Amino acid sequence: MNRHTSEIDFEAQIDGWVRDAASRHTSFASLVRNLPGVYPGFVVASLRRQSIDIEYGRSERLLRLDGPIPHPKDGDWRFHPESWGLFSKLLLKRPAKDLAILACPSLVKPLAPVVDKISLADSNVAWRDFLPNRGIEVSWGDVSLAAQRWPHRFDAAIMDPPWYPLEFARFLSIAAALLKLDATLYVSFPAIGTRPGMARERTQLIRTARRLGLEHVSTRRSALRYATPYYEGCALAAEGLPVLAGWRHSDLVAFRRTSDEYTQQIDPSEDEPWIPVSHGRLQLRIKPSDGPAGNPCDPRLIPLVKGDVLPSVSQRDSRRRAAAVWTAGNRIFGCASTEAFHEVAATMQGQSPRVLIEELYGRSLAASEVQNIIETQAQLTELESLEAQTYDDMHEDFIGTPIRDPAQPQGLAQG
């Protein structure tokens, strides 16, 4: 089956779900939350195809949860407090003394009172300051390092990998290596309406797990709920959609470890991580480069999309490939000199970046290049203010500030 046919079939399936749910739900927010993980933009397209009228309502304020400001390049998705409660009940029903948490650091604090010991494996070191001070073992870096660093085995594990087949297979191999015989693994898996082919991917997940000594126990459809992260709120607004505070659901798939044999790890991808830099409340990720290579120094940000906000959080969106600088608010920019941009962003509160950039380039900068640096500094100042204001506008404890019209995304001023 080619992709075109698959997408047509998926649209027809969405139309059926939407038609059925629209007969029972009169608001857009309620409709979306009662669908099996269908992206709000797909829901709007289905309503239009079927000429179904519904009340879209106002944007909702996002939950302000513990943790660093989530960034799309970190894959920082956080479970809604409803999901904390579900995991707590499961861990009390089938008690676990030692719990391993793989790539979902937002669960550490709410689940700490339920088990004797929690071990977290995650790549986002920015979470360090938001974890409990005691009783937590942490493996920073790729989750595969946990199996090498932790000699002991666990009674239970929870994993929430990036939602793509290779990552699920890789995380399953890691979890299998960490679990005791008869231990339980809880997996957050995309609901069937997330994208075409999810039923097939779920079947493959269960087959892969079986080969790794993990027996499928149960699947609870749409049992888990996520709090909408800041960057997805910005993407929804950029698409002209109401911002929904907790629309995304996933299935909870449980497995039992049936073998205590060693499990061979699946190697991680070799993609070089983006470089994190912050300025005030502005959280940036910069695409690594091979260096200046004799090019002119021009670290200015280049607009890529209208309003600068990418109206999507999907890794399959082709516009992502052009991005060289990415903000926590899902704003993306091109940049001709990312290595120089890094120096400018890293020195906004301190020394002049000129000396550092001249050392980087191995020469004195021309007057036009110095002007490029000055203009970049102005862009960063404006961007920091814009991101801070957008973040406050969108979150629940700033109720006195009206949310900006989601159809009018705010971008950098164009010179």
| pLDDT (tens digit per residue) in 1-15 | 455 667 789 999 999
For the record, the structure tokens of 382 come out as 């404006």
Question: 79: how many CB neighbours lie within 10 A of its CB?
Answer: 24
What pLDDT score does 93 carry? 93
User: Which pLDDT tens digit goes with each residue over 55-112?
Assistant: 899 999 999 999 999 999 998 999 999 999 999 999 999 988 999 999 999 999 999 9
Question: 313: how many CB neighbours lie within 10 A of its CB?
Answer: 20
Q: How far apart are CA 134 and CA 112, in angstroms?
A: 10
What pLDDT score does 261 carry? 75
What pLDDT score does 315 carry? 84
What pLDDT score does 7 carry? 79
What pLDDT score does 71 carry? 95
CB-based burial of residue 206 (10 Å sphere; 0-12 exposed, 13-18 middle, 19+ buried)? Answer: middle
User: Which pLDDT tens digit goes with each residue over 323-364?
Assistant: 999 999 999 999 999 999 999 999 987 778 999 999 888 899
What pLDDT score does 30 carry? 95
pTM of full prediction above 0.85: yes
Q: How far is CA 351 from the centre of its chain?
A: 33
For the record, the structure tokens of 339 come out as 């290595």
What pLDDT score does 147 carry? 85
- Could you write out the three-class secondary structure of the chain? CCHHHHHHHHHHHHHHHHHHHHCCCCEHHHHHHCCCCCCHHHHHHHHHHCCCCCECCCCCCECCCCCCCCCHHHCCCEECHHHHHHHHHHHHHCCCCEEEEECCHHHHHHHCCCCCEEEEEECCHHHHHHCCCCCEEEEECCCHHHHHHCCCCEEEEEECCCCCHHHHHHHHHHHHHHEEEEEEEEEEEECCCCCCCHHHHHHHHHHHHHHCCEEEEEEEEEEEEEECCHHHHHHHHHCCCCCCCCCCEEEEEEEEECCCCCCCCCCCCCCCCCEEEEECCEEEEECCCCCCCCCCCCCCEEECCCCCECCCCCCCCHHHHHCCEEECCCEEEEECCHHHHHHHHHCCCCCCHHHHHHHHHCCCCCHHHHHHHHHHHHHHHHHHHHHHHHHHHHECCCCCCCCCCCCCCCCCCCC
What pLDDT score does 402 carry? 37
Lowest mean pLDDT among 15-24, 190-199, 283-292, 376-385: 283-292
Residues 39-54 have a mean pLDDT of: 95
Tell me the pLDDT band of 403, cut-offs 50, 70 and 90. Answer: very low
Q: How far apart are CA 21 and CA 192, in angstroms?
A: 15
What pLDDT score does 265 carry? 67
283 close to 72: Cβ distance less than 8 angstroms? no
Looking at the chain, the whole-number percentage of residues with pLDDT higher than 90 is 79
Question: 23: how many CB neighbours lie within 10 A of its CB?
Answer: 9
The amino acid at residue 237 is A
Q: How far apart are CA 283 and CA 277, in angstroms?
A: 6
For the record, the structure tokens of 42 come out as 């797909």
Q: How far apart are CA 284 and CA 17, in angstroms?
A: 38
The amino acid at residue 290 is D
Residue with tokens 């904390």: 84
16 pLDDT above the threshold of 90:
yes
212 close to 173: Cβ distance less than 8 angstroms? yes
- The mean pLDDT value of the chain amounts to 90
Tell me the pLDDT band of 271, cut-offs 50, 70 and 90. Answer: low
User: Which pLDDT tens digit goes with each residue over 240-268?
Assistant: 999 999 999 999 999 999 987 766 666 66
Looking at the chain, the whole-number percentage of residues with pLDDT higher than 70 is 91
User: Which pLDDT tens digit goes with each residue over 186-207?
Assistant: 999 999 999 999 999 999 999 9
What pLDDT score does 148 carry? 86
User: Which pLDDT tens digit goes with each residue over 141-181?
Assistant: 999 999 889 988 999 999 999 999 999 999 999 999 999 99
300 close to 372: Cβ distance less than 8 angstroms? yes
404 pLDDT above the threshold of 50:
no
Q: How far apart are CA 406 and CA 240, in angstroms?
A: 5
378 pLDDT above the threshold of 60:
yes
What pLDDT score does 21 carry? 95
Question: 365: how many CB neighbours lie within 10 A of its CB?
Answer: 18
